[in-house]
Structure 1
């Protein structure tokens, strides 16, 4: 029955003709924003993987794939950037992730994406992973603009036990929930149930944040069986997790079709960062030395400022409004806040100054994006920035290291050309120093200091620590 359902969904996706780009609908469209967790750039069928992802592949064929879509190098910063349209260094979430024992969260004076869409008249829901604050209820999703929440608050859970360090982390709204099942399957089933129960009086904003394929590498036996031919056990489990996520996306697409909502639904998909290539960034679960993610031609992975950690698989689809193909030019997750605001007709009045750019005109017209700069990150140890094709990666801590790459000619960042371009290096360093003077000290570090030395409570004020030295 499930296979027959997926065949029908795929048939409907591929049957939609390539229509010319159209203006935004008079009535706000539904928005389904899907985020994978630690997915390698190449680990989807539409980037040439042997992992089965037919639902995502169909969306990529019908819609538009981003050629250069950037996220932050780790998941808390990326999710914060999506919710605010602002770089995480502006509110202290630029370093690491919120640990399971962390008491801090995304600043409550930020006007979040679900709050903006709720003010526009949307019904808002988060199904899946939050990871933007769990230590105080004021940081929880239902207190941040979501009408519905189902899933986990912290960053890493056992996918079957729904627990972190033996502590249950599974909620419906603000209430702990006891429930059996594989989390990434439950997310798809819950999303379909939500869609089926809609009254139709309001457009829907659904933020569907999977925990796949984040460690621990676990999947149902039926999904593992698909990859019996893969000898490496971790790669087999990882592939099964991606396919389980893709199946859940199929459930959502089928529900949208059955409800008559598919034609007026914008679907965005991205990973929160690149795939994990170092056990240092694999999370708190035990993993082996050979990690399974594949970032294709890009250097390294999650936790680093290289392309493998920050350039992610991404697409956008809206039948009849977006030309099938590839969106050329740089895009960053911060851009999705103003882009979705434009699509929804929401007002940008209560938000703080945005780093994001409205990409809807480019997407609608099938033209390259106008973005000329990407800030990969700024923190007390350094940063990275790209202007045009030139990218600077600066480790300012001792002993220090400066790397310059021409991303157009050298996307794999194999050749450091800093010594050949001293003026360009100086200019990009100067830009990073200027940004560091706007930086709020990392809350992770401030909390560690407080716990260790009994320092005053965490402050969220721009840093002056690096005015002389730079980041």
Structure 2
């Protein structure tokens, strides 16, 4: 074939470019001092629900300042749901490789992130970091082997399961508030309590020792609850549910401001990398709100879909990075970054080793973050599970639903970021190529851990008869009516 030589030449150039990008990124990481790392994650926050993305009604002055003096990560991808994103963040590996790709771990769930996975805090501890996890965990709660202190964190404060009441700190009426493996009872709004703890840790920390602080807020996940002072601050928002949602984000933003203030006061700020992103897109489908019913009021525009969806609104999330003197102020990073990339990027910055665990899916993207250079990533896996998958390579994205009636949708995200025009019928070659890549990846898929547990739980439920009434005795002469 006459084009084969040209193809090989292009492939060689692509490989060379990837090697140069990785080498440049590694060099940049080696030139940087080992930073303190403050890793902040919000919960179910919409793409547009932040000031620096142009929200007309939600005000986030502290996040806006971090974005203005740092880098906006405009193509930062996670998975469409909470547990999978947190697992991918901690492992640097796609969740289909260890069975956490489907749904989230429910409150009654007994499984968790497999213990043969080496997690980010373990790698950072090996590199000499002090580690702390605050807030939401949600990668295993039924067995202590899944808990933060057993997975590389020196300190944990917060909750373990899925969603809690912000004031009582209960999940489905059961207390879920912990400090270092011990249950505690405290009064206060959970967002404020997490900010208190983060500021306390920072102020009491020895600046000479590198710190990794994972601060996972439950805001603005349902149930929608906020202190009165924040509801008053957002009184101009007419819709009461949207008003409460905005108040929750405002409360979280204030606590992020307190974290930055504590860094300044402790003399750690100039040596601290702050990362912020949501765990998935904002809620648009009330059926997947969680255990507490919630009205979908998040704004992911102009992206399509939201939490739980394979469209962009489910996985492309608000994100930023800030490190004074190391990340240029006002930088916009348009290169692809996936949450699995944080593991190799942070461990490399920390001077740690990447060879202590299983093969990573993540890539070192520090060169893209700190200079706005090209990202080595050209592919994004949104999710792969038995019933559906979505993948992006270059500008082309496939959304493939295998369950009957099956469907395959194709979008060019460069031309159509809102996914309004399905090009599958016009570009069957692209569809076939992307489906081939999904099959290749799916060959390594572990069956979802959620499925057998959900099946077993449903089989143990009592029968769903109509409204119960007193049974008749066998010798009762009364005749049954036609409606009986």
TM-score where L is the length of structure 2? 0.87
RMSD value over aligned CA atoms?
Answer: 1.4
* Superposed displacement of residue 199, structure 1: 2.7
Are residues 265 and 376 of structure 1, via their aligned partners in 2, closer, same or farther at CA, if it must alter by over 3 Å?
same
Match of 2:349 in 1: 343
263-272 or 428-437, which deviates more: 428-437
User: Runs of 5+ in structure 2 lacking a partner?
Assistant: 1-26, 461-484
1:40/1:312 contact within 8 Å kept: yes
| 1:172-227 deviation digits (Å, cap 9, x = unpaired) | 01000100000011100110011111133421100000000000000000011111
Give the match's secondary structure for 1:418: coil
2:335/2:368 contact within 8 Å kept: no
Match of 1:458 in 2: none
* Superposed displacement of residue 449, structure 1: 3.3
111-120 or 321-330, which deviates more: 321-330
Structure 1 position 431 matched with structure 2 position 444 = no
CA distance in 2 between counterparts of 1:180 and 1:354 reads 41
Match of 1:463 in 2: none
CA distance in 2 between counterparts of 1:369 and 1:229 reads 41
Counterpart of 1:191 (choices 185, 198, 212) is 198
2:391/2:434 contact within 8 Å kept: yes
Within-5 A mapping of 1:201-350: 201-288=208-295, 291-324=296-329, 325-350=331-356
Match of 2:189 in 1: 182
Give the match's secondary structure for 2:436: helix
Give the match's secondary structure for 1:268: strand
* Superposed displacement of residue 24, structure 1: 4.9
Give the match's secondary structure for 1:374: strand
Give the match's secondary structure for 2:364: coil
Structure index of larger Rg: 2
CA distance in 2 between counterparts of 1:227 and 1:107 reads 42
* Superposed displacement of residue 363, structure 1: 2.1
Within-5 A mapping of 1:120-159: 120-159=127-166
Matched length: 432
Match of 1:51 in 2: 58
TM-score where L is the length of structure 1? 0.90
Counterpart of 1:97 (choices 83, 101, 104) is 104
Within-5 A mapping of 1:327-406: 327-406=333-412
1:29/1:344 contact within 8 Å kept: yes
* Superposed displacement of residue 448, structure 1: 2.2
1:23/1:321 contact within 8 Å kept: no
User: Runs of 5+ in structure 1 lacking a partner?
Assistant: 1-20, 455-471
1:22/1:321 contact within 8 Å kept: no
| 1:305-347 deviation digits (Å, cap 9, x = unpaired) | 0000010000111110111211122110001111111211111
CA distance in 2 between counterparts of 1:360 and 1:117 reads 16
CA distance in 1 between counterparts of 2:386 and 2:378 reads 24
CA distance in 1 between counterparts of 2:269 and 2:257 reads 12
1:162/1:169 contact within 8 Å kept: yes
1:45/1:54 contact within 8 Å kept: yes
